[in-house]
């Protein structure tokens, strides 16, 4: 270790000793956890960062208290450096009720947002996209705060890594990207991961600085991180730092790492970061054998007592297994007033809702592809960029994973993002962020995620298999996401306002066939409709149709024809798939004794499956006939008019189903 340069030269003796104590704490703690796991005395998993102490301490020690760090499962010491306590750590490893995740996740899969550390999850490097959203929030509010996102070199092969770095570079966000290159992605060596001589050289492709540092030199890591953080805080954008280091253990506790060649291991062990730093401290007169031994004894005793204490703490109650899925809304909804004189399309109503909410609450902002001056693929955001500017109507690169991940990060930092998808068919790359970050943050970490993902869905416009899906069945399968499907302009505006004001992630599906085809006079002024409340679109006595979205209008057409035959049909428009208004469904079935569920989504494992099963199970004695479903066939959505019409349920299909029920 050479004499410290740059910002590291300004460190006080107390700071140097604090860094050393953190490094020793990480080494002793993670070695103890590794041994406990290997001996069968610790469940779950461990991902030791032993050998990477200099990188973890050096990089994060440069952050300030209100900055944010998003790491991975191997960044336990980085979290401790950021302020997470040993007590919080061990409570989580033992799955206790008072743990940061309340026992819902274990080992290092946690974050403590109040200490500035983001939730750790298994898919890597998801925290990159979330950290981008945090930086976006800081930038929008003109705060002098910085986000840091870290991962290993293996995670840099993912699309999420590229999307996040590219997006942050394009937007000039206050974020620092760090990579701890520990030579192996699980068992895959560097020469099978990338062809560049150094990962930091990739920064040239993003137009940002790239820095390679000795990841076993804590002061070099600190100096590089400090310079990058200072640059970001000044508004000069991101930096990519590669800390070249080596992990002493395998990928996880069960991995013997026998793929590492003995000569390679010996060479790296000779560069162990802790002895190197000890030599430096000794040269400054800050450390000797006695002080080193005393420090190690004190830390070991603290770790031992903390582990024993954590083991004795209370386990989570089984009664709480379904708790905390959603954050509770505390404000009351604004009730709709009388309808105005001017008719609005659904598209107009959605635009009006966005404009009114952005005017009412400066935290609300839009992000998505082409949402700015272009006004969006369907012109839903037309005029909003001109009124609110580029910081609140953010044109994003084609990067659905980072669009949704950034919405998560901005939301947990107090903003209210509304992310637009050009088509909901394009949601698939973002499902990781939606399912693993947005949907789990409140359940796992107690932090609400007030965000909306909205965009056009549905068939009927001859758009073919990649622009026509109805994804509500897939989305509703995953807990923690609210799903809204309006069928009228009035509902579209009121439900979107409700979605924006809800403290949870909401997917708002706008059937594009209804954008301009349905017009009505909507209530004047500010109003909202509560999520989870169905609408009886038509009253009747002989059969109930439960449906949503565009199928409401197809069902109304069928009901008009059935009326001519003397058959009275009640139509329940769910409006919200999650939470679903079971009370209204059951009440209608009790009234008519017959149920048909109509949907545009394919039938297997779908919303109609759930409605049919639950009504059959819980309202069996109210039924005078089997529950029927009218759905497309279980296939892809075709392009040709004749094929698409054969796929999408038509009024004739619904009439036939009602006739079938009436005959029983």
Task: Write the CATH number for 635.
Answer: 3.40.50.920
User: Among all residues, which ones are annotated catalytic?
Assistant: 467
Does the pLDDT of residue 635 top 70, yes or no? yes
The set of residues, in sequence order, having a beta carbon less than 8 Å from that of 128 and lying 6+ positions away, is 70, 149, 151, 160, 161, 164, 165, 177, 402, 405
Rg value, the chain, Cα = 28
Contacts 24+ apart (CB under 8 A), 156-161: 156/125, 156/193, 156/194, 156/199, 156/202, 157/185, 157/193, 157/194, 158/124, 158/125, 159/401, 159/429, 160/125, 160/126, 160/128, 160/129, 160/401, 160/402, 160/405, 160/432, 160/433, 161/125, 161/128
Same domain, 498 and 401: yes
Residue 401, Cβ density class (10 Å: 0-12 exposed, 13-18 middle, ≥19 buried): buried
- Tell me the per-residue pLDDT of 270-319, one tens digit each, with 9 for 90 and over: 999 999 999 999 999 999 999 999 999 999 999 999 999 999 999 999 99
| 165/270 same-domain check | yes
On whether residue 329 sits in a domain, the answer given is no
**pLDDT given at position 332:** 84
Residue 487: inside a domain, yes or no? Answer: yes
Contact 78, 112 (CB under 8 A): no
Residue 257 lies in a domain: yes
Q: Which of 489, 523, 557 is the last residue of a domain?
A: 523
Of the candidates 342, 574, 576, the one whose C-alpha atom is nearest the C-alpha of residue 352 is 342
* pLDDT for the residue 136: 98
Q: Is residue 330 part of a domain?
A: no
Among 468, 490, 523, the domain-final residue is 523
Q: Is residue 124 part of a domain?
A: no
Residues forming a β-bridge with 177: 149, 240
- Decide if 179 contacts 158 (C-beta within 8 A): no
Which pLDDT band, with edges at 50, 70 and 90, does 435 fall under? very high
| 307-313-315-317 Cα dihedral, nearest 10 degrees | -160
Q: Are residues 84 and 49 in the same domain?
A: yes
Does residue 547 sit in helix, strand or coil? strand
Instruction: Judge whether residue 664 has pLDDT over 80.
Output: no
pLDDT at 342: 86
Q: Can you list the alpha helix ranges (DSSP code H) found in 379-424?
A: 384-388, 400-412
What six digits make up the tokens of 241? 């730092």
Answer yes or no: pTM beyond 0.85: yes
pLDDT in tens, 601-617: 999 999 999 999 999 99
Cα-flanking dihedrals φ and ψ of residue 321, to 5°? Answer: -65, -30
- C-alpha distances (whole Å) from 627 to each of 235, 610, 611, 649 are 61, 12, 9, 17
594 shares a domain with 561: yes
Query: How many angstroms separate the CA atoms of 242 and 236, rounded?
Result: 19
pLDDT tens string 409-428: 999 999 999 999 999 999 99
Does 191 lie in the same domain as 42? yes
Residue 250 lies in a domain: yes
Whether 492 contacts 430, CB under 8 Å: no
Same domain, 89 and 167: yes
- Residues 517 and 546 grouped into a single domain: no
Q: Tell me the pairing of strands 482-484 and 339-345.
A: unpaired
CB atoms within 10 A of CB 330: 6
Cβ within 8 Å of residue 485, ≥6 positions away: 472, 509, 511, 548, 549, 574, 575, 576, 577
pLDDT of residue 2: 64
> Do 359 and 260 share a structural domain?
no
Looking at the structure, tell me whether residues 245 and 373 fall in a common domain. Answer: no
DSSP one-letter string for 432-478 = HIIIIIITTHHHHHS----EEEEEEE-SSSS--TTS---THHHHHTS
Say if residue 333's pLDDT is above 90. no
- CATH number where 175 lies: 3.40.50.970
Mean pLDDT estimate for the chain: 97
Query: In the chain, pLDDT over 70 holds for what percent of residues?
Result: 100
Q: How far apart are CA 81 and CA 543, in angstroms?
A: 64
Cross-strand partners of 545: 571, 596
Predicted confidence at residue 90, as pLDDT, reads 98
- Tell whether 325 is covered by a domain: no
Q: Give the residue carrying structure tokens 């469940």.
A: 43
148 sits in the region (left: phi over 0; alpha: psi -120 to 50; else beta) called: beta
Question: How many domains does the structure of the chain reveal?
Answer: 3
DSSP assignment letter at 345 = E
Q: Which of 523, 552, 581 is the last residue of a domain?
A: 523
Quote the CA–CA distance of 87 and 305 in Å, as a whole number: 10
Domain span at 648:
537-662
Residue 136 lies in a domain: no
Residue 23 CA to residue 150 CA, distance in Å, equals 18
Do residues 291 and 423 share a domain? no
Residues 511 and 547 in one domain: no
For residues 78 and 181, membership in a common domain is answered with yes
């Amino acid at each position: 270790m050479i004499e410290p340069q740059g910002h590291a030269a300004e460190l006080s003796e107390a700071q140097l000793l604090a860094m050393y104590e953190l490094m020793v704490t990480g080494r002793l703690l993670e070695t103890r956890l590794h041994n406990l796991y290997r001996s069968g005395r610790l469940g779950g998993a461990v991902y030791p960062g032993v050998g990477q102490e200099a990188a973890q301490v050096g990089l994060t020690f440069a952050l300030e208290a209100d900055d944010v760090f998003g790491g991975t499962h191997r960044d336990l010491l980085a979290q401790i450096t950021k302020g997470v306590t040993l007590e919080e750590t061990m409570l989580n490893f033992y799955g206790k009720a008072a743990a940061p995740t309340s026992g819902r996740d274990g080992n290092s899969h946690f974050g403590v947002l109040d200490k500035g550390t983001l939730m750790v999850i298994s898919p890597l490097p998801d925290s990159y996209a979330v950290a981008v959203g945090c930086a976006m929030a800081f930038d929008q509010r003109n705060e002098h705060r910085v986000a840091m996102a870290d991962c290993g070199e293996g995670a840099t092969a993912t699309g999420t890594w590229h999307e996040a770095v590219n997006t942050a570079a394009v937007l000039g966000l206050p974020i620092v990207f760090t990579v701890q290159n520990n030579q192996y992605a699980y068992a895959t060596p560097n020469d099978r991961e990338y062809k560049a001589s150094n990962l930091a050289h990739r920064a040239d492709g993003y137009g940002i600085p790239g820095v390679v540092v000795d990841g076993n030199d804590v002061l070099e890591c600190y100096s590089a991180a400090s310079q990058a953080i200072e640059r970001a805080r000044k508004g000069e954008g991101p930096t990519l730092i590669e800390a070249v280091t080596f992990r002493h253990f395998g990928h996880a506790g069960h991995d013997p790492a026998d793929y590492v060649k003995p000569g390679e291991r010996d060479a790296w062990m000779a560069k162990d970061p802790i002895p190197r730093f000890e030599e430096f401290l000794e040269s400054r007169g800050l450390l000797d054998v006695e002080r080193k031994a005393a420090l190690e004894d004190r830390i070991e005793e603290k770790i031992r007592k903390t582990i024993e204490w954590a083991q004795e703490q209370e386990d989570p109650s089984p009664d709480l297994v379904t708790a905390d899925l959603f954050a509770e809304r505390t404000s009351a909804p604004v009730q709709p007033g009388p309808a105005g004189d001017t008719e609005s399309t659904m598209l107009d109503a959605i635009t009006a809702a966005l404009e009114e909410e952005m005017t009412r609450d400066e935290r609300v902002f839009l992000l998505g592809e082409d949402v700015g001056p272009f006004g969006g693929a369907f012109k839903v955001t037309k005029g909003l960029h001109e009124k609110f500017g580029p910081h609140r109507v953010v044109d994003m690169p084609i990067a659905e994973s980072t669009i949704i991940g950034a919405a998560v990060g901005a939301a947990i930092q107090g903003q209210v993002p509304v992310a637009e998808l050009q088509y909901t068919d394009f949601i698939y790359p973002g499902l990781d962020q939606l399912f693993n970050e947005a949907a789990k943050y409140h359940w796992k970490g107690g932090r609400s995620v007030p965000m909306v993902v909205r965009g056009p869905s549905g068939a009927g416009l001859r758009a073919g298999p990649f622009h026509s899906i109805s994804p509500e069945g897939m989305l509703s399968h995953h807990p923690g996401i609210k799903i809204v499907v309006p069928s009228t302009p009035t509902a579209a505006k009121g439900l979107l306002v409700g979605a924006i004001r809800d403290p949870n992630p909401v997917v708002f599906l706008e059937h594009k066939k209804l954008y301009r085809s349905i017009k009505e006079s909507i209530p004047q002024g500010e109003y909202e409709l509560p999520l989870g409340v169905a609408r009886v679109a038509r009253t009747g006595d002989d059969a109930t149709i439960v449906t949503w979205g565009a199928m409401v209008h197809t069902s109304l057409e069928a009901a008009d024809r059935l009326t001519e035959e003397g058959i009275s049909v009640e139509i329940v428009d769910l409006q919200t798939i999650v939470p679903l208004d079971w009370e209204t469904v059951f009440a209608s079935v009790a009234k008519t004794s017959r149920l048909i569920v109509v949907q545009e989504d394919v039938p297997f494992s779908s919303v109609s499956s759930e409605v049919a099963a639950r009504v059959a199970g819980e309202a069996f004695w109210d039924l005078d006939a089997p529950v029927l479903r009218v759905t497309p066939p279980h296939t892809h959505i075709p392009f040709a008019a004749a094929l698409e019409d054969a796929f999408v349920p038509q009024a004739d299909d619904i009439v036939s189903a009602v006739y079938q029920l009436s005959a029983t």
